[in-house]
Amino acid sequence: MKTNIIIADLNDPFHAQAIIALLEAFALDPMGGNQALTVFTKENLIAALKQRRAIRTMIAFVDGVPAGLAICLEGFSTFSCKPLLNIHDLVVAPAFRGEGIGRQIIEKVISLANHLGCCKVTLEVLEGNTRASGLYRSCGFVGYDLNPEMGKAMFLQHTL
């Protein structure tokens, strides 16, 4: 079993198809919300990703088969005055879970972040996703706080 993790070529139809298929698998998973991607998203995601230079997309292939995906967003830390890389989506296809693919993707993202001069890699995870939380913690991710007396940062959203 040979694993290869690469930065996706969004102009390659095979890569584009793999991104959509892996993201769809994640969307259909309980940890992804149990809802299929919309037709609009499937038809427009790749073009939208191409327009955003601050997005890095990595695909893991196992023996040439798409096995995992990380879509990362470059941000900026004002306190550090350096870029940061946020793992916005991380998915391992169900058939490849438990094989270490997620860890390998995270290691590749951290390597990319180092190459880009980032001060940190961030991500968010659902409280009930204990398997992913365990992986993230074993890779060195910890809750974010500026002052332990004020508690951990919370991830909030305002849907539009």
Q: Quick one: pLDDT at residue 40?
A: 98
pLDDT averaged over every residue in the chain: 95
The domains of the chain, with CATH numbers, are 3-150 (3.40.630.30)
Quick one: average pLDDT of 31-41?
Answer: 93
| Strand 82-92, strand 121-123: pairing | parallel
Confidence of residue 63 (pLDDT cuts 50, 70, 90): very high
Q: Quick one: pLDDT at residue 8?
A: 97
DSSP secondary structure string for all residues of 5-19: EEE--TT-HHHHHHH
**From the CB of residue 23, how many other CB atoms can be counted at a distance below 10 Å?**
20
Confidence of residue 32 (pLDDT cuts 50, 70, 90): confident
Can you give the pTM of this predicted structure?
Answer: 0.93
Q: Quick one: pLDDT at residue 11?
A: 97
> CB-hemisphere CA count at 13 Å for 50?
10
C-beta of residue 106 within 8 angstroms of C-beta of residue 135:
yes
pLDDT by residue (tens digit) across 109-125?
Answer: 999 999 999 999 999 99
